[in-house]
Amino acid sequence: MAEQTFSPGLAGVIAGETEVACVDQGQLLYRGYPIEELAQKSTFEEVAYLLIYGDLPNDSQLQAIKASLDKYRPLDAALVDALRTIPKDTAMMDVLRSMVSYAGHFDPTSGDDSDAYRERAVWLTAQIAGIIAARFRFLNGHEPLDPKPGLSHAAQILYQAHGEEPDALAERIIDLTLVLYAEHDFNASTFTARVICSTLSDMVSAIVGGIGALKGPLHGGANEAAMEMLEQFKTQEEATAWIADALENKGKIMGFGHRVYKNGDHRAVILEGELRKLAEQKGQQNWMAIYDAIKEPMVNDKKIYPNVDYPCGLTYYLMGLPLDLYTPLFVASRVTGWCAHFIEQAADNRIYRPLSIYTGEAKRPVKG
């Protein structure tokens, strides 16, 4: 009989083994590769291949996954028609939840072995990017654009959303955020996907579950919530006054803290460096003064550090992206990690079924 331990939120509980990522205060590895090196040397397509197939691709494997992504980009006409009917004030994360589920009815891949799952993972990665861009076009009064074969995944998303190819800086920054967001072991949305997989349910159901979990502001929704917080401020002084009051009232500051990283998120350090350069290039250092006005008391007084979502929100904002796109871009990346974990769980499965401590009414008879 396994030892019984009770830990709220499963904090500190080991729920499984994984080869996909190592997440601890000392390092973040995707299948053994340090995130710092992947961020510098690898594109999202290479990282997607690494997570889904188990190693970094050689040239022909990289060309093959790029060709598969292009092959799977077109959205079914029925899906586009359904997308058109969704009310304009529906959050993009809710659109994604519905449309990924709907796309599943047109899944061109077949089979339920690891190879089939890998193909489905590439198809989902292509479709999610296309759904986000098509919805963005509808919201701006335009028809969706056909994919442009040959563009990188990051450039494709921006091209299909804006109608023009991005400059090199925008493509690189989006690609970097996709690399940083791709995988993070047993976080809430990945664990959700693994639980769904563990009942022998299907990959699309697992990804839809992951989307539902990631939406929450305590998880992926924090990149939007963090920017909503920053957007209130015109000056660094306003931010300083606000954070002092918020901490006084024990408020939760979005974009800070982490269950595993208690001395800082490796990804936040990497992205913040790029953010500072971006702000300088765009002459928006005023935003960095506001950013630092919130960060400094959190780090210096509370010893609570930024997680990846804090720099990411302002990064996307400085790139002119609407807040409603931020967490969906997180999905566009994390779908690769979710699928990698689905494949791993399916290959060596035991259904997840934790216990609970009953604290309800004592046994009592039904009257009459």
Q: What are phi and psi of 21, to 5 degrees?
A: -150, 155
Of 182, 166, 121, residue with least CA distance to 331:
182
> Around 324, how many Cα atoms within 13 Å sit in the side-chain half-sphere?
15
Instruction: Convert 84-122 to b/e letters by CB count within 10 Å (16 or more is b).
Output: eeeeeeeebbebbbbbbebbbeebebeeeebeebbbbbb
For the question of residue 219 being annotated catalytic, the response is yes
Q: How many CB atoms lie within 10 A of CB 256?
A: 21
CB of 44 to ligand SDX, least distance (A): 15
| Closest CB to ligand SDX among residues 161, 208 | 208
For ligand SDX, give the closer residue by CB, 92 or 222. Answer: 222
Identity of the residue, 18 or 187, whose beta carbon is nearer to ligand SDX in the bound complex: 187
Would residue 184 show up in a list of annotated catalytic residues for this protein? no
Using DSSP, state whether 279 is helix, strand or coil.
Answer: helix
H-only helix segments in 16-167: 35-41, 44-53, 59-72, 77-85, 92-103, 114-139, 153-162
* Shortest Å distance, C-beta 25 to ligand SDX: 12
Between 57 and 306, name the residue whose CB sits nearer to ligand SDX.
306
Q: Is 59 labeled as catalytic in the residue annotation?
A: no
Residue 138 vs 242, nearer CB to ligand SDX: 242
Please report, as ranges, the residues that interact with ligand SDX according to CB under 6 A.
9, 184, 187, 218-220, 222, 252-259, 304, 307, 309
- Per annotation, catalytic residue among 175, 185, 265, 309: 309
- Select which of 258, 265, 266, 341 is catalytic: 258
| CB of 91 vs ligand SDX, minimal distance in Å | 17
Return phi, psi of residue 218, to 5°: -80, -10
CB of 222 to ligand SDX, least distance (A): 4
Out of 107, 219, 292, 324, the active site residue is 219
Query: How far is residue 74's CA from residue 131's CA, in Å, rounded to a whole number?
Result: 10
Minimum CB separation of residue 325 from ligand SDX in Å reads 17
Residue nearest to ligand SDX (CB): 257
Q: Give yes or no for a contact between 312 and 278, defined as CB atoms under 8 angstroms apart.
A: no
What tokens does 327 get? Answer: 């967490």
Active centre residues (catalytic): 219, 258, 309
